[in-house]
A and B are shown apart, each in its own frame.
Chain A
Amino acid sequence: MSDYLLFAILPYVALALFFVVSITRYRKNAFVFSSLSSQFLENKQHFWSTVPFHYGLIGVLIIHLIGLLIPDTLLWWNSVPARLVVLELTGLALALIGIVGLGMAMMRRLNVRTVAVVTTTSDWVILVMTMVQMLLGVLVAVNHGWGSSWFASSASPYLWSIFSLDPNIAYVAAMPLLVKLHIINAWLIIAYFPFTRLLHVLVAPFPYLWRKRQVVLWNDNRKTKRIP
């Protein structure tokens, strides 16, 4: 029964909140639809938090997405043990640098006064939730290895059963506790997502990746005025 609640009801509550609140907030107050930058307030620790965190998290998310969208291709890739190990080690390493980055981000928000001032409660909640999720992911990867393969054959059909409005919890009901916690926390993050700085994911300026270069010119005499 509790399995049904956590793996069949919670997902729909989470998805409903995600879509309804995101859309409502965007329509009512598009300016909150971002994350408050703290880059100008502190710049040295910032690099070692944001860069490893984003590369790590996005990399791991892409691997999850591949398992969800093209599970057969993933299983084909994994059909040679050496390739499976390469993928698993890449995922684990990305998760670990993500954790390093997130840990740095948390320390920075605690220790740098200027950043602490602009940090809200929801920032802390989502930081902790994300940290828990990444630690659980690493524990799953290490304790129940080769998840890239069993994700494709167990988690993927479960998620599709949710998306096709015909939830089948049999795939996950028998999973070990760590895996279950990882799934439950994922739904909780999706539910809480629209109330947090994570909203910036939905409005990420992807065109920056392919827009033309911009050349920045200074009109003042840099030789005498700016450069020591």
Chain B
Amino acid sequence: MRGYGEIPVFTNTSLIVPILLLAGASSAMAQDAAEAQAFFDSNCVACHTIGGGRLVGPDLHGVNTRQTREWLIDFMVDPAKVLASGDAYAQEILAASNQVPMPQLPGLDAAMAGALLDLIAEKSGTPIAAGPVEEAVPFTAADVFLGEELFVGSQAFMHGSPACISCHNVDGVGGFFGGGNLGPDLTEVFTTLNGRRPLTAWLGSPASDTMKPIFADAKMTDGEINALVAFFDAQVNGESAADRAAVAGTASASFFYSGLAFAVLILLVFAFLWRNRYTATRTPMVEASKR
């Protein structure tokens, strides 16, 4: 393919890049770098920064020095395989990420992994700027309220993203049967995804296989994400967290039995509506024919 396997890793890119530019050999590489940057922006930023601190997954600043390039590419291409092999370092990352495994990303082949590592190496060349830490505006009750409305769908998302409750449950929200269970239970997602900043980043570019195609064309706005994060925060840290209903989770069994009761009711209605079937013509004719 692009043959990144043969390109040595330069950590001191400040020197190398101008040389390549002079040599006029940079166009292909620049294109790959642009591709890698685009891929990073739409896939990786949900869980990773380069020098911006840990989100759900580790900060990738200097990741090239933590493991061999070969190991990193293997892991990026098929994280589940490396995790299943029992690799100690992979387990360590998983534990540090609250047991949230890195998903396998469509389009992330060995060539793209190499290009991404080059990109990360280049960005790691510059030291982390110790800028002022952004002061987060505290959540208000209105944020939490809007978050719940967005979650259950009574407030529609601006760009048409589906309501969270279609696929996710949060204990005590959405009535007796709770939320859907195509996706994971989000009651404690605020804790699982490591708090406000990582969760905000994650929602900005949902990375799971199921959400990705839906949200690619229907991104949530910053305000909507803020409200949702406030809502998820309240589930774990708010007052409602303590007195949450004892019935938790999606009530699959009671949903099934309710449906069954409804079905029996429909059959009884059929039996009633058609109680006189055939009595006008057919039954008398058949009876008469037997005589």
Residues of chain A having any CB pair with chain B under 8 Å = 43, 47, 51-52, 55, 72, 75-76, 78-82, 84-85, 88-90, 92-97, 100, 141-147, 149-150, 152-154, 157, 168, 170-171, 173-176, 179, 216, 225-228
A142:B267 contact, CB within 8 angstroms: no
Contacts of A85 in B (CB 8 A): 175-177
Q: Judging by beta carbons under 8 Å apart, are A143 and B209 in contact? A: no
Closest residue of chain A to B260 (Cβ to Cβ) is A96
**A143 x B274 contact (CB < 8 A):** no
Could you tell me if B291 and A146 are in contact, using CB atoms closer than 8 angstroms?
Answer: no
Whether B274 contacts A81 by the Cβ 8 Å rule is: no
B interface with A by C-beta (< 8 Å)? 106, 152-154, 156, 160, 162-163, 165-167, 174-177, 179-182, 208-210, 212-214, 250, 252, 255-256, 258-260, 262-263, 265-267, 270, 274, 277-278, 281-282, 284-285, 287-288, 291
Q: Which residue of chain B has its CB nearest to the CB of A170?
A: B213
Q: CA separation between A181 and B263, bound complex, in Å?
A: 24
Given known A85-B177, A96-B259, contact A227–B284 (CB-CB < 8 A): yes
Are A149 and B263 in contact, with the CB atoms below 8 A?
no
Per the bound structure, the CA–CA distance linking A52 and B262 in Å amounts to 13
CB <8 Å contact, B209 and A153: no
Tell me the bound Cα distance from A76 to B155 in angstroms.
Answer: 10
Q: Which residues of B contact A174 (CB under 8 A)?
A: 208-210
Q: In the bound complex, how far is the Cα of B153 from the Cα of A144, in angstroms?
A: 18
B284 cross-chain contacts in A, Cβ below 8 A: 226-228
**Pairs A–B under 8 Å by Cβ, sample size 16:** A51-B274, A75-B162, A78-B166, A79-B156, A81-B175, A88-B177, A89-B262, A92-B258, A100-B267, A142-B259, A147-B182, A150-B180, A153-B166, A154-B210, A171-B214, A216-B281
Cβ of B269 to closest chain A Cβ, rounded Å: 10
Q: Is the CB of B288 within 8 A of A78?
A: no
Known: A52-B267, A93-B259, A96-B259. 20 other contacts (CB 8 A): A43-B282, A55-B266, A75-B153, A78-B153, A79-B156, A80-B154, A92-B263, A93-B263, A95-B259, A96-B263, A144-B180, A144-B182, A146-B180, A146-B182, A149-B180, A153-B214, A154-B214, A157-B214, A174-B209, A228-B284
The CA-CA distance from A89 to B261 in the complex, in Å, is 10
Evaluate contact between A150 and B263: CB separation under 8 angstroms. Answer: no
Instruction: Establish whether residues A227 and B288, one from each chain, have CB atoms under 8 Å apart when the complex forms.
Output: yes
B186 shortest CB reach to chain A, Å: 14
B277 and A47: CB pair below 8 A? yes
Which residues of chain B come closer than 8 Å to A89, judged between CB atoms? 255, 258-259, 262
For the complex formed, measure the closest distance between the CB of A170 and the CB atoms of chain B, giving whole angstroms.
4
- Bound: A154/B162 CA distance, A: 10
In the bound complex, residues from chain A placing their C-beta under 8 Å from that of B153 are: 75, 78-81, 84, 149
Docked complex Cα distance between A225 and B285 (Å): 10
Closest to B208 in A: A174
Q: Is the CB of A228 within 8 A of B214?
A: no
Whether B252 lies near A142 (C-beta < 8 A) is yes
CB-defined contacts of B166 to chain A, threshold 8 Å: 78, 146, 149-150, 153
User: For the complex, what is the distance from the CA of A47 to the CA of B180, rounded to whole Å?
Assistant: 36
In whole angstroms, what is the CA distance A154 to B175 when docked? 24
Q: Which residue of A lies closest to B212 (CB)?
A: A170
Question: What CA separation (Å) do A175 and B167 show in the bound complex?
Answer: 11
